[in-house]
Amino acid sequence: MNLKDTLVASLVPIFLGFGFVIAKPAFESFPPVLLMGLRFTFAASILIWWFPVPRGYLKKIFIASFIANTLQYSITYTGLDLIDASAAVLLVQTEVPFGVIFAYFILKETPTLRSIIGIGIAFVGVYILTGSPNLDGKFLGIFLTILGSAVWALGQVVVKPLSKEIHPLALVAWLAFFSGPILIGVSSIIDGNTFNYINSAKFDHWIIAIYLGFFMQPITYGCFYYVLKNNPMYKVLPVVTMGIPPTGLLAAIFLLGEEPTAELFIGGLVIIIGVIMILYKSKAEVKK
């Protein structure tokens, strides 16, 4: 990638890692599912006006939205609510090995031996990380965060064919259009009166919700798809994926005051090593 594209790509993990972590304080006012519903509703409200209705694809978009947005974000952010953000931001890196696994079974994309070894190393890192005292007794939060990563990976496999037919930002817009109202509706069922949460929410928590929906969602994916349009995936993913852990950890430490343990750092490092092995491609592999 040239310098400009590299700089633009580097914005993606900054927005994603920072946004993932600062969502946690907003849970004091908004339940996780409701916060995600507001996020996608806000994003859709500013994006759909720029793109026509993708007629002929609405059913497929709805299915993809249910998996990639509605299910995934409700599960992942509920997990985040139950554990430290510093641990969650590392556990979500399992999205990469899960992506390889689903791509093999659904898209028939055969992983290399190095990728298989990388998957094994990544899950060893998860095992080490879950031994952190900060996660003691928080099995449900760990499980939901990892499950959310698996659902995200499955969602991207489902979305991939659509991305070849629909403008990337249009796809983001209409995925959000379906998932936002559904998440708000689900929250009203499982969390209680939605209007009470909205009316009593603190001002700074509203700022977080606004940031997630109006800024992080469109800017992050705008940057990502701009770079992806001009560069092959194998060059973009390392910049995006590897930047999220340090950004998220720094945000968790300095903004939330969390104190990650040695097990978390060691486990996180092992996970990242596994992810690097999965993402790395030799020149011979790239030419295939």
Which pLDDT value is given to residue 113?
Answer: 87
Which pLDDT value is given to residue 218?
Answer: 82
Which pLDDT value is given to residue 228?
Answer: 67
Which pLDDT value is given to residue 66?
Answer: 95
Which pLDDT value is given to residue 40?
Answer: 95
* Close Cβ partners of 158 (under 8 Å, ≥ 6 residues apart): 63, 64, 67, 68
Which pLDDT value is given to residue 114?
Answer: 86
pLDDT tens over the chain, length 288 residues: 677 877 887 888 888 888 889 999 999 999 999 999 999 999 999 999 998 898 889 999 999 999 989 999 999 999 999 999 999 999 988 888 888 888 788 877 777 888 889 889 988 988 898 888 888 889 999 999 999 989 988 887 788 788 778 887 888 899 999 999 999 999 999 998 899 999 999 999 999 999 999 888 888 877 876 776 667 655 666 676 677 888 889 999 998 999 888 988 999 899 889 888 877 765 555 555
Which pLDDT value is given to residue 282?
Answer: 54
Which pLDDT value is given to residue 96?
Answer: 80
Which pLDDT value is given to residue 284?
Answer: 53
